């Protein structure tokens, strides 16, 4: 028998997919870890589960309690699923710039959703800081605090990194992905570097994020902007701090969109903008490294979460972008 134990038992163990078009183009094996196949639909199910398990083990989260989080959507969706499965309540503070699909999913799952103006991290009303304050003022509530809670990267160290190592028989030359909290990039990089320090670890960053310059120069500076959601950061989180990252590649939106539509039309893989950044950056890295290398990245979430944006031609055109 092979039976999973509820939602929680179904998180992780996602397939690793060879991306044919991009592998042929580069002469490398470009492999995408299909995190959009997680039961809550994104890579963030893993972090959500570890954060809740950690709070339970520490006795911080008790029956009937509430999980509060500030999130661009995917972590909130993962948390809301797990809260339903385990009998907790869920309160999500989200920047009002995020897609309607993610807001709708959160409400459908029964989470209390508080959209707030998107202001910078320095502002006391930033969604992350606000969620921390709300949690501290509530009875029997925890703040998931995905950005600085190390249970997040631990999830990727113990599960995503381990799975990538197993699925490739250790034959992996490079690991590259974009970051929001840094949990995925850092956790997997730590695991793979412990196994083989020669594996190259690379950040894929959208425009508008300060992390590309942080990896390149040690200083957080940003330029430009991006339509991608859930990735890029203005600061170095606790989850990113000390992560063994060798290099960074920056991808502009037109290239990201082109890759998203190539994945859809030529591979039949329907994913969101962060996956476009990841695969575009993996291709750039493959060209830098030369043929014959195995490069692993993340397919973070489904394109269905961005139907009204990335896959709406009017919206796309209004951003000055096109599928080709
Ligand atoms: N892609 C998407 C669509 C996301 O929502 C996130 C998380 N916000 C990421 C990538 C990055 O994941 P992490 O938080 O582990 O850096």
pLDDT tens profile 13-45: 999 999 999 999 999 999 999 999 999 999 999
Q: List residues near ligand 1 (CB under 6 A).
A: 43-44, 72, 74, 178-185, 229-231, 272, 274, 300-301
Residue 98's pLDDT is 87
Q: Report pLDDT digits (tens) over 255-285.
A: 999 999 999 999 999 999 999 999 999 999 9
CATH of domain 43-143: 3.40.50.1100
Terminal alpha carbon distance of the chain: 46
139-158: average pLDDT: 97
Q: Report pLDDT digits (tens) over 282-323.
A: 999 999 999 999 999 999 999 999 999 999 999 999 999 999
Q: How many whole angstroms separate alpha carbon 30 and alpha carbon 12?
A: 20
Mutation test residue for ligand 1: of 74, 75, 189, the one with most atoms within 8 Å of CB:
74
User: pLDDT tier at 167 (50, 70, 90 boundaries)?
Assistant: very high
Taking 90 as the threshold, does the pLDDT of residue 72 lie above it?
A: no
Residue 102's pLDDT is 87
Q: How many whole angstroms separate alpha carbon 207 and alpha carbon 277?
A: 10
Q: How far is the CA of 184 from the centre of ligand 1 (A)?
A: 8
207-212: average pLDDT: 98
> b/e per residue, 164-173, with b = 16+ CB within 10 A?
bbebbeeebb
Q: How far is the CA of 1 from the centre of ligand 1 (A)?
A: 34
Tokens of 59: 């006795």
Residue 197 to residues 147, 165, 264, Cα–Cα distance (Å): 26, 13, 34
What 8-state DSSP symbol labels residue 158? I
Q: How many whole angstroms separate alpha carbon 213 and alpha carbon 220?
A: 6
Q: Which residue has the higher pLDDT, 202 or 71?
A: 202
What are the catalytic residues?
Answer: 44
Q: How many whole angstroms separate alpha carbon 182 and alpha carbon 180?
A: 5
Classified as helix, coil or strand, 106 is: helix
Query: Domains of the chain: which residue ranges?
Result: 7-41+156-316, 43-143
What kind of fold does domain 7-41+156-316 have according to CATH? Answer: Rossmann fold (3.40.50)
Taking 90 as the threshold, does the pLDDT of residue 73 lie above it?
A: no
Tell me the pLDDT of the chain averaged across its residues: 97
Classified as helix, coil or strand, 207 is: coil
Domains 7-41+156-316 and 43-143 share a fold: yes
Report the DSSP beta bridge partners of residue 18: 31
pTM of this structure: 0.97
Vertex 127 angle, CA 318 and 134, to 5°: 150
């Amino acid at each position: 028998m092979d039976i999973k134990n509820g939602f929680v038992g179904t998180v992780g163990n996602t397939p690793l997919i060879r991306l044919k078009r991009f592998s042929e183009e580069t002469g490398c094996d470009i492999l995408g870890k299909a995190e959009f196949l997680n039961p809550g639909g994104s890579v963030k199910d893993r972090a959500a589960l570890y954060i809740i398990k950690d709070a339970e083990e520490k006795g911080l989260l008790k029956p009937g309690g509430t999980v509060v989080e500030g999130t661009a959507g995917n972590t909130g969706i993962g948390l809301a699923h797990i809260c339903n499965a385990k009998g907790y309540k869920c309160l999500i503070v989200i920047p009002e710039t995020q897609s309607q699909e993610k807001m709708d999913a959160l409400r459908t799952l029964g989470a209390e959703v508080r959209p707030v103006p998107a202001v910078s991290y320095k502002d006391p009303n930033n969604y992350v800081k606000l969620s921390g304050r709300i949690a501290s003022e509530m009875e029997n509530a925890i703040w998931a605090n995905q950005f600085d809670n190390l249970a997040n990267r631990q999830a990727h160290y113990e599960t995503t990194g381990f799975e990538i190592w197993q699925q490739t028989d250790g034959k992996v030359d490079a690991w590259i992905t974009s970051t929001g909290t840094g949990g995925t990039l850092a956790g997997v990089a730590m695991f793979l570097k412990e196994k083989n320090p020669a594996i190259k670890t690379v950040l894929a960053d959208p425009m508008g994020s300060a992390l590309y310059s942080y990896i390149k120069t040690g200083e957080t500076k940003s330029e430009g902007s991006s339509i991608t959601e859930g990735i890029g950061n203005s600061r170095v989180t606790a989850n990113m701090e000390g992560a063994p990252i060798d290099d960074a590649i920056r991808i502009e939106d037109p290239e990201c969109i082109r890759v998203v539509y190539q994945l859809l039309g030529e591979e039949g893989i329907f994913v969101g903008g962060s996956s476009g950044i990841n695969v575009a950056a993996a291709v750039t890295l493959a060209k830098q490294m030369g043929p014959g290398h195995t490069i692993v990245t993340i397919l973070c979430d489904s394109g269905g979460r961005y139907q009204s944006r990335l896959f709406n031609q009017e919206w796309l055109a209004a951003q000055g972008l096109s599928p080709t």
